Amino acid sequence: MTRVVLASRNAKKLAELRRILEPIVPGVQVLGLDDVEPFDEPAETEPTFEGNALIKARACLAATGLPSLADDSGLCVDALNGMPGVLSARWSGQGDAENNRLLLTQISDVPDERRGAVFRCAVALCTPDGAEVVEHGEMPGRILRGEQGDGGFGYDPLFAADGYDVSTAELPAEEKDAISHRGRALRTIAPAVVAALT
């Protein structure tokens, strides 16, 4: 069975990435960081999603010798000049619930028509032959007034994609995958994954 490593320990993110990738790349065995020998994971020090995705994919390839995928993604809020952006996971310095509370507080006085936001994602693939490919995906939408739904993770309960009246945390997994920033980036990079594994 052909193996590729997703440089993540986030169980919900791994499940999402596997759901999207496995039907596109038949026979692939998708490993997470908990499935490989531990290695020193680099800090995400780049100011862009692409830079951080490459840092993680390069380190994973160097440690495992296997084709390695990594994503970096975040929520870019218009009223916050694109923040939290690459700092999305660390916005409050604590966890998802605290991040969501902080975001709601920061834009509490912003009217509905100015609550635009976009989820952005960069997915990097690094392969043993030295190839590096990066693809991007976006999901535009808006920030809701409060959390809705208990699916997804991160800011999903606060985000409604364009054309939807529910949060992405309320969407069935397959429907979210079809429109999500990560889903779009992964479907675009899938041909490069197939090429690397054949």
**Which listed residue (34, 40, 71, 72) is catalytic?**
72
9 labelled as ligand-binding? yes
18 labelled as ligand-binding? no
10 labelled as ligand-binding? yes
Q: How far apart are CA 146 and CA 132, in angstroms?
A: 40
96 labelled as ligand-binding? no
- Respond yes or no: is residue 72 known to be catalytic: yes
109 labelled as ligand-binding? no
153 labelled as ligand-binding? yes
Question: Is the separation of the CB atoms in 134 and 192 below 8 Å?
Answer: no
136 labelled as ligand-binding? no
120 labelled as ligand-binding? no
Question: Is the separation of the CB atoms in 188 and 137 below 8 Å?
Answer: yes
Q: Which residues are catalytic?
A: 72
Give the annotated binding-site residues for substrate. Answer: 8-13, 73, 153-156, 176, 181-182
Q: Which residues sit in the known binding site for Mg(2+)?
A: 72
Q: List binding-site positions.
A: 8-13, 72-73, 153-156, 176, 181-182
